[in-house]
Amino acid sequence: MPLIQLTNVSKSYTDPGSGAQVPVLRGVNLSIEAGESVAIVGPSGCGKSTLLNILGTLDLPDAGEILFDGEALASLKPAGLAAVRSQKIGFIFQLHHLMPQCSVLENVLLPTLALKSPPKDAVQRAEALLEQVGLKDRMDWKPAQLSGGERQRVAFVRALINQPRLILADEPTGALDETNAAALTDLLLTLQKSSGVTLVMVTHHRAQADRMGRVLTIHEGVLQ
Amino acid sequence: MKLTDYVFQSARHYWRGHLGLLFGTFLAATILTGSLLVGDSVRASLERVAALRLGKVEGGVLGGDHWFTEALARKSNAAPVIIATGAASAANGKVRVNGAQVLGVDASFWKLSTSAKNLVFDKTAVVINEPLSRKLGVKAGDTILVRLERPSAISRDAPLSGSTNQDVSLRRTVAAVISAEDFGAFQLTASQVPPDSVFVNLADLQTQLEMDGRVNALLHPQFNALRAHLEEHRTLADFALRLKRIDGVKKEWEISTSRVFLERSLAAKLGDFKGAYGVLTYLVNGITSKQGGTPYSMVTAKGQGKDDEITITQWLADDQKLAVGDELEVKYFVVGLGRDLKQQSAKFKVAAILPMDHPQVTKAWTPEFPGVSDVDNCRDWEPGIPMDMKAIRDKDEEYWDEHKGTPKGFITLAAGQKLWANRFGNLTAIRLPNEGQTPEAKANVLALRLQLADIGLVPRDFKHDAGAAAKGSVDFGGLFIGLSMFLIAAALVFAALLFLFTLERRAAQIGLLLAVGWTRSMVRRAWLLEAGVIAVAGVLLGVIGGIFYTQSALHGLSAIWTGATQGLPLVFSASFETIFNAALATLIVVLLTLGWASRKLFKLQARDLLAGGWSDDLAPAKQVKPTKLPLILAGVALVLMVVGFVVKNPEAVAGMFFGSGMLILIAGLLLLRRWMRHDSGSLARSLWQIGTRNITRRPSRSLAVIGMMAGGIFLVVAVNAFRMSAGDATARDSGTGGFALIGESSLPVYEDLNVKAGWDAFGLDEKLMPQARVVPFRVRDGDDASCLNLNRAQKPVLVAADPAKLASTFAFASGAWENLGQPSRLPAASETLALQAIPAIADQATAMWGLGKGVGDTMDYQDSAGNTFQVKIVGLLAGSVLQGKMIISEKDFLSKYPDVAGYRFFLIDAKPEQAAEVSAHLTRQLEQRGLALEPAKQRLELFLSVQNTYIGIFTVLGGLGVLLGTAGIGVLIARHVLERRGELGLMQALGFRVGALRSMIMGEHSVLLVLGVILGVITASLAVLPQLIERGGGLPIGFLGELIGAVLGFGLGVCAVAVSTAVRGRLTDAIRRE
């Protein structure tokens, strides 16, 4: 059974000027197996981020069905969707979105607060993950004291803290220089492989995409 | 990490961003706490006054016109006291104080004072309190004159009650001037104003009033003990009853009363004894027959028989040569309302003639009529009825010398009662068989049958009443909250705005938390907890601020707003409960406000929040469909205005115009909202036009600026529409009822001042008086329920007049004088108490604020016999000079208080040009009665000044609110500009000068301020239009003008500072950052 199965998923937005419906995704069919790494590429405005948001339950499709781990997402209420996000999905954004008021460790632990009963070993796991990304000695630092690459590494760890089944990365290295971007892609793939998590990444960089197990291209809302 | 850790860390990290929230909460808490503490302080002040005026007194009995024995008080371990009203003047006669409280006291009274300090002074001296000392300008050692009325055992209105004006003047040395703590503030009436009191030696006053051994009040330190034991010590003397052995035809006991007529409640119980029968002896004006006439004779009614027959004495038969079977006519006075006497007559047939030595022919049948029984000659009679002395013949004098008041005729009791029963009673004596008991034993048996409560001598719980009264007629806490509402609202808006800014800046954080699986409620809870941490700090600071606020408000109430507290000495009081409640309420209100203000943000999708915040920038401009709502609102406003011009009630007019202004304000805001949401589609060709686009860019913020300015100015100015002025005081439908003068007398005036007999009694000018019309009111003392009394009146003063004399006077909010004129009737057994209620009219302000009552509500009173009856409000006067009183018809009044004689409250009609002359003349001629008059318009303005003071407080506090709102606008502008620094940098990069950009921003915000002020001024002017038409009508036009100018000036200044601060530095750096 695939981890994610999208069947004929469509999504439109309203044009602010004319009020007309503008299709963003048109009848997308997609199946992603557990442990896979998938890159989604395409030009700006083609619907990559919309697809990622739908995969991450941050957005709902206008039509079509999404099965996550065999469970139809359409049947879930907002609280249920939030539970799916907290337990099964990890997000990495182009901007790190770290809480400036929290330390590195606290930022990593933030998703555990969403769980009904945070795991007792959450802190140890966070420390272990931070060690894996080379930030063990900066656990008590605030985001403002970190470099751009370091901040994004914290965001990676934050995405993994609840041991999700799926990591969704929206141009995770888009705000970094090439060297840092390459290093972080290595790290991301290493983490993905070591944890066995499924990775779906939206990226503009063909080279980065090619390092994924599968590359999907979206053009004018259609998955090719 | 726990949620609380996150919350506290966030609060700590973003403390600068939360300063606005902290300040807003601090301000709201300050005002709320302060307002409630003002309420606490006023209540505490009233309680303090109550404690001083009652000292250790808990309960007592007020006899009123029923004087009882001093022994009753002593046996009950109570202090016997005489409480009377009189006039006090300095020995030089230059200053006179009417309505002074004259108290006859002894050592037992002083033991009940707070200080328990015993004041010993002999019969040549008196003690006075500080207020009277100040008013008279006298001190210890000076001499004062005290004038009061000698009480009558019987109502002075009763026929045969004797002469009316029996004043007593005391010339005494002031032994001491006593403070409030030493019982100088003693009074039983719930009032914050200390009375003017003279304390006279009890024995001295009893002697002077010819009331030896009797008092009309007793005071006790324990109400329950008094209630339990008072009745145990009653004697016949306490009921003003006398027991006499009669050795006539048969041996009998006779019970009579010094009040002449036995009270019905007592007569009913005494008449129940086996063998008892009633006697009614009356002074008739004459007995005539065909053969002649006999003036002024006693006729006794007793027993049964034929009601049209009379048994006469031989003397009468001889006088008129009457024989059995002859017809004769008896002429007599009957009492109407007040002292109105009407002569009537009845015909009888002579049934028998008794010889003068017959045992039945005895003066024992005749009670002791004051002014009659105690004089030697008929010509010296002063029975209190008009007498034709010329009609008295020598033989009548001889009869008096020989037989005194021996009746000349006997009729049946039924016939006598039909003719002479009146509101004072229908028997003058009751006779009982004498079975050989001693007088003492018989008196005890009789007394046991009676209850002091039968004559209204009921223990009263003064302490409880004082406690209830001290809760206050006006809840100053609520009042100040109401008056500060705009200031509180401004503080909350201020806090909410700044909280929203912080929230918007951190919108991505909300998005992230939602993305990592937090539910919306979790995120919201975390935010509100963070806000709560700040709010708690603000509230704690606000509590301290509230204490200072209270001190300032109390200072204001003692200095510039004295109209609201009417002489109450204010003390600061703060209870933990109040502070806790205020703090909790502030916290809840702040969090609810923040929750409401941020509700939209928490509904946004995580992706939008993560994409870079939110704003109504994102909302697309709409092709707004034309809406009819503003037009409908304007239409309704117009209708209200038209109705406002037709309605006469000033408060209704103010309400109509206020409502109309409010609707126009809303319509204006709706129109502006439409304009802002409207996409003009035109091309912006100037910096100014781009600036205008910015106004419409965030319609909610722009409308908030305009709304806050317009709403603030509207409220502060428009509430002044409710300022009251006496207006045309000569109009019949005005608050004065068209009466020129109003006044009270210390002692009752029994005579009708509209007729010659009354003018003669006081030597009034017969040329001037026909130009005036006096409407007299009977008064049953009680609490002043007007807005001048801060205590909540427990039993408001009852006043009574003939409703016909008040027809077509005063404006009614509900009902009419005719409602008082319903004929009274005996209720059927099946009728409920409410149906028996006596109709009353009260001033609307008295009913609403003083009593918390409305039309249809009832109040319990006790009649002179101690029975409870209800008074039902059937009408409300609109803003009248009759505040503080319950007005009932004289007929109803006399049915409940037959003994309350004379009139003590007056409304006087006089031409405006003669009013002063009439006032001076009446005051001078009725000086002995202690008449004090003042222009009715002046009294009305005094009442209105209370409401106007409240409005004044609102204006000041509301003005502060508007200024705070303006400061909030400054912050809002600064924030707005800071958000736009990137685009401003871009414009600078494109070649625009910083000065031009600054002008653009200044211009766009100035437009908002000016629009707000214009909308506010227009709508407020509409609301105060009636006052403006009435040449200002008491509007503080200068102050309001200055306020509007200050608001606009302050607003523009704040705007300039905000713009200059936000546009400071290199704007182009902002582009790089972006």
**What pLDDT is recorded for position B224?**
93
Say if residue B284 is in the same domain as residue B317: yes
Say if residue B752 is in the same domain as residue B894: yes
Q: What is the CA radius of gyration of chain B?
A: 39
- Examine residue B405 and state whether it is found in any structural domain, yes or no: yes
Q: Do B517 and A53 touch (CB under 8 A)?
A: no
Say if residue B765 is in the same domain as residue B658: no
Judging contacts by C-beta atoms under 8 Å, the chain B residues touching residue A99 are 6, 10, 509, 512
Residues 6 or more apart whose Cβ sits within 8 Å of residue B682: none
**What pLDDT is recorded for position B208?**
93
Say if residue B631 is in the same domain as residue B511: no
**What pLDDT is recorded for position A82?**
87
Q: How many CB atoms lie within 10 A of CB B359?
A: 11
The sign one gets for the Cα dihedral B418, B424, B428, B433 is: positive
Say if residue B1002 is in the same domain as residue B887: no
Q: Do A82 and B519 touch (CB under 8 A)?
A: yes
Q: Do A58 and B514 touch (CB under 8 A)?
A: yes
Say if residue B75 is in the same domain as residue B205: yes
B3 part of contact set with chain A, CB < 8 Å: yes
Domain of B279 in residue numbering reads as: 268-450
DSSP B128-154: EEHHHHHHHT--TT-EEEEEEEPP-SS
- Examine residue B474 and state whether it is found in any structural domain, yes or no: no
- Examine residue B243 and state whether it is found in any structural domain, yes or no: no
Domains of chain A: 36-58+87-223 (3.40.50.300)
Q: What is the pTM of this model?
A: 0.73
Say if residue B784 is in the same domain as residue B919: yes
A101 part of contact set with chain B, CB < 8 Å: yes
Say if residue B25 is in the same domain as residue B95: no
Q: How far apart are CA A37 and CA B607, in angstroms?
A: 23
Q: Do B9 and A82 touch (CB under 8 A)?
A: no
β-pairing, B214-215 vs B68-69, is antiparallel
Closest Cβ opposite residue A113 in set B3, B10, B515: B3
- Examine residue B895 and state whether it is found in any structural domain, yes or no: yes
Say if residue B350 is in the same domain as residue B437: yes
A117 part of contact set with chain B, CB < 8 Å: no
DSSP B867-901: -EEEEEEEEEESS-TTTTEEEEEHHHHHHH-TT--
Token pair recorded at residue B449? 């049958």
Where would I find the H helices in B560-611? 562-565, 576-597, 606-610
Q: How far apart are CA B1008 and CA B709, in angstroms?
A: 9
**What pLDDT is recorded for position B734?**
85
**What pLDDT is recorded for position B165?**
56
**What pLDDT is recorded for position B339?**
67
- Examine residue B232 and state whether it is found in any structural domain, yes or no: no
Q: Do B6 and A113 touch (CB under 8 A)?
A: yes
Q: Do A83 and B517 touch (CB under 8 A)?
A: yes
- Examine residue B356 and state whether it is found in any structural domain, yes or no: yes
Q: Which of B287, B289, B284, B285 is nearest to B327 (CA)?
A: B289
B393 part of contact set with chain A, CB < 8 Å: no
Residue in B516, B527, B605 to test binding to A, most A beta-carbons within 10 Å: B516
The total domain count for chain B is 5
- Ramachandran bin of B816, using left for φ above 0, alpha for ψ from -120 to 50, beta for the remaining angles: beta
DSSP state of B112: T
Percentages of chain B per state (helix, strand, coil), in multiples of 5: 50, 20, 30
Say if residue B624 is in the same domain as residue B609: no
**Which of B904, B921, B940 lies at the terminal end of a domain, its last residue?**
B940
Say if residue B345 is in the same domain as residue B285: yes
Q: How far apart are CA B73 and CA B215, in angstroms?
A: 9
- Tell me: pLDDT of A110 over 70: yes
Instruction: Give the H/E segment covering residue B444.
Output: helix B439-449
**Which of B419, B450, B481 lies at the terminal end of a domain, its last residue?**
B450
- Chain B closest-CA separation from residue A87 CA (Å): 8
Say if residue B710 is in the same domain as residue B760: no
pLDDT digits (tens, 9 = 90+) for A30-77: 999 999 999 999 888 888 888 998 998 888 899 999 999 888 888 888
CA dihedral B768, B769, B771, B773 (to 10 degrees): 160
Residue B499 CA: distances (Å) to CA of A101, B15, B25, B972, B1069 = 17, 11, 11, 11, 27
Q: How far apart are CA B643 and CA B629, in angstroms?
A: 21
The pLDDT > 70 percentage for chain A reads 99
Q: How far apart are CA B912 and CA B937, in angstroms?
A: 11
- Examine residue B926 and state whether it is found in any structural domain, yes or no: yes
The sign one gets for the Cα dihedral B267, B269, B272, B274 is: negative
Stretch 480-539 of chain B: residues touching chain A, C-beta under 8 Å: 508-509, 511-520, 522
Closest Cβ opposite residue A102 in set B6, B516, B520: B6
Averaged over successive runs of 10 residues, the pLDDT of chain B (1074 residues) comes to 86 87 90 89 87 93 90 94 92 84 95 90 91 92 91 70 72 93 90 89 93 94 92 92 86 90 90 92 92 92 93 94 94 78 91 92 86 72 76 89 92 94 90 90 91 88 88 77 80 83 85 88 90 94 92 84 75 91 93 87 83 52 62 85 72 78 88 77 70 75 82 81 75 89 88 88 90 93 81 86 90 85 49 67 84 86 83 89 92 85 92 92 87 90 81 80 78 76 76 81 86 89 74 65 83 83 65 50
**Which of B891, B908, B940 lies at the terminal end of a domain, its last residue?**
B940
- Examine residue B478 and state whether it is found in any structural domain, yes or no: no
pLDDT digits (tens, 9 = 90+) for B94-124: 888 988 999 999 999 999 998 889 988 888 9
